[in-house]
Every structure is written in structure tokens, then in C-alpha cells.
Amino acid sequence: MAEPGGVCVTQDVYWAARNTARWRFRFAGRPALKNMPEPLALYYVVASNVADVPDNGHQRLISVIDGLGLYREDGEAIALRSPKAQALIGYLALSSNYQEVHDRLATLIWPQRSQVAARRAMANCLQIAEKSIAGDSAAGILRRGNIIGLSPSRISVDVVRMLKDLGEGKIDDLLLKRSDWSEAILFGLEGTSDLFSAWLSVTRHNWRDHALEALEAMLERFEMSEPVMRRAANALLVLEPSHERAARCLIRHHAELHNVAAAMRVYETLRAFLRERYQLAPSVETTALAEALKAPEPLLSQNKKARRPGGPAPTLAVGKFEARPKRISPLVWGFRSELVANLSKFREFTVIELKDGAIEGPDTDYLLTAQCVDSQDDMQLVVSVSDPGTN
């Protein structure tokens, strides 16, 4: 797990040493390790007196939220007016290792052109981008060749930094203020090409998921009364207001601090949102927690953070939606897609979308299917949920 030349430690070591001034810790995940009965929370050890990026006077700051922005170290904006050049830099800034194959990127930005024409356009675009981003610097910020890339030691990308900070237990204020930040990534560049727009849509979704996962991991790592626990839970509820686990953590946090009124406000806000948006009530666990707040000393004996559930969340497989007659199939499958998207918002179970004709796996707990029949003036939809393990 440790990076070359690095050190990885367990959560016990992290708890014992996290307040030291000499070292910092970055969350490394909960991998399944050989001969270990359950996954362990691991942390990378980072020397606090070593800067993440060398101060060489040639640093470039790249902001991808609310459109592409380029800045020098002193905060001075760098003009890059070409939308294609902006798309190129934005793509590299969000790519693995900040690099991509030349021809693949050319095809993504100019899919309607021939390979020769796309390469010619790419050469011109690279020249424009390099002139702007490098300026008077001789540093190799933008690398050219069969592999195009940005030098990792010369750039800092806002969303990359934000995710890295989450791994170190720090939450950017942006996550507490905006729920739409992921949809604002490279805003204005959707019209670059159809292929680029499709890539951008997936990328925005992935960054949102990465943030959700990192914030959820933070709920495991800190004591219930710590401010960082409150910030993590609040950030999750900004991203996903129906996130019941985050709401429960926030309720417990306020209860630990003897602020029952604030805890009840969290519950009432969640209940109102679920009722208005999904016509649902909070889960039994969340409701029981709210009821416990009315006890003489609510939750004050629970000084430890919430434990992980005893097992994995149940799996719900969404199977075939049959349409009669066939002409209503687009309507039925549109409803199916919308249903899957909304079910996926709930963290109490895992949703799997089965492809047409596929059968549920052995680990499926529930199977959801439907049949829609259109008989002239009346349309009937029957949704069924069954247990594949029984007949």
C-alpha cells in the first residue's frame, strides 16, 4: 500500500500521532488485506515540513470550477481565450497523471475532422496553449509529443487539491456552500464537441462520487464530537440532502455537545426533504435516533463514533421492464432509467442495473421488475419486488 519510499500506518497509529507537528497523514482507504478478517483503515505518512510542490517560481494554478482559469503563483490571471485550447488544458488537468495520448485527445476535440486535419489543429492549439501557460518561463509546463501532458511538479489543480485535502481531514469551504460545484467543472466548454461533452458529463459525475466517498470515509475516521465530523456530515448533506447516514452523524454530533435543538433541526430538515422529494419517511434507525433525543440524557453515553453496520448493504437488482405493446418501450425504459437514478441516491442499499436479458447474481437480495400495459385509454404499470432466493 505504501508509495515508493513511503510509510503506511493503521488507524491506531493515526489516532496516537495525528496531532504531531512533524507529520501529516493522508487517508489511503480501507483495502482488504491478506490474512486480515476485515478491511483496515490505512494512512499515508507525509512529512509536514516538505512542500507538496517545489517553489520554483514557475508554478501554475489551474481552476476548473466555473470554467477554466489559469493563474500564476502571485494570483495574476493568465489569458487563454481559445475555447479549444481551454478544453485541451482542462482535459489534461483532470486526467490521470495529467497526460493523454496525442491522437486520442485530437479525436476527442475534433471528432469530425480527418486524422491529418485533427493533428494539424492540435499542433496549432498546443502552440497557443503553450505560449499562454508558459509565458516567459522556460520551465517545461506543457509537454508535447506522442503523449501530451502537464508537468505535475509545475501545476496545482483546484479539484485535485480539494480531494487530496479530504484525504488529510480538511474540508474546503466550497463543499459546504455549493451542491452544484461538480456540474460547474469546465462550465462553458460543453460545446467543444459531442465526444468532449460526453467525456465531461462522465467526469463531472466521477468527481462528485469521489468527493462523496471521501466525505463518507471521514465519518469513520473522527470522533463524533469533533468539528471535522460536523463539517464532513454537513458537506455530505449539501451534496446529497437525503444522505441519512450523514444526518445521523450530525444528529449524534449535536447531541454529544448537548445541543438537542440543533440535532432535532437536522432530523426535521431531513424528514421534510424526504417527504417533499420522494414521498418517503426517514428510516427506522434515523427515526429511533430522533426519538432518543427526547430522553433525559439523549445519546450522551455514546461517546464513541458510530460503528460500521455489521454487514454490507442489501443489494437491489433492477431487472427487465416489459412493455406491451412495444411502441411504448421508450416511455417504459425512460421511467426505468429515472427510477434507477433516484434509487441510487439512497445509501441504505446498493442498486444494480441489470442489462436486458441478464439474470441476477447469487449475492442479489431483491429483484425489481415491472410490466407496463397500454390498453387504449388506460395505461397500467405493475412493479414487483421479489426475493430471488425464494419462490
pLDDT 10s digits, 20-70? 656 667 666 666 666 666 666 677 776 654 334 344 446 788 999 999 999
In a domain, residue 53? The reply is no
Mark whether 84 and 147 lie in a shared domain. yes
Tell me the average pLDDT across 74-90: 90
Least confident interval from 22-31, 155-164, 299-308, 377-386: 299-308
- pLDDT of residue 144 exceeding 80: yes
Give the pLDDT of residue 310.
44
Which are the contacts of 158, defined by CB distance < 8 A and separation ≥ 6?
A: 61, 62, 63, 64, 65
Total domain count, the chain: 4
- Predicted pLDDT of residue 6: 76
Does 262 have pLDDT greater than 90? yes
To the nearest 5 percent, what fractions of the chain are helix, strand and coil?
45, 20, 35
For residue 281, give the 3-state DSSP assignment: coil
- Does residue 222 have a pLDDT over 70? yes
pLDDT at 357: 58
Look up the pTM and report it: 0.64
Q: Which domain, by its residues, includes 370? A: 315-386
Domain closes at, from 231, 257, 292: 292
Answer with the residue of higher pLDDT: 151 or 9.
151
Q: 96 and 150 in one domain?
A: yes
Tally the residues of the chain.
391
| Mean pLDDT, residues 146-157 taken together | 90
pLDDT of residue 192: 94
Give the closest residue to 267 by CA, choosing from 233, 284, 244: 244
Q: How many CB atoms lie within 10 A of CB 215?
A: 24
Q: Are residues 280 and 362 in the same domain?
A: no
Residue with cell 435543538: 261
Last residue of a domain, one of 260, 292, 324: 292
Mean pLDDT of 90-118: 93
The x, y and z cell numbers of residue 278, run together, are 420522494
Q: Find the mean pLDDT for residues 212-220.
A: 90
pLDDT score recorded for residue 18: 62
Give domain status of residue 190, yes or no.
no
Is 34 in the same domain as 77?
A: no
- Percentage of the chain lying above the pLDDT 90 cut: 42
Where a domain ends, among 243, 258, 292?
292
**Looking at the structure, do residues 148 and 64 belong to the same domain, yes or no?**
yes
Within-domain flag for 213: no
Contact 68, 89 (CB under 8 A): yes
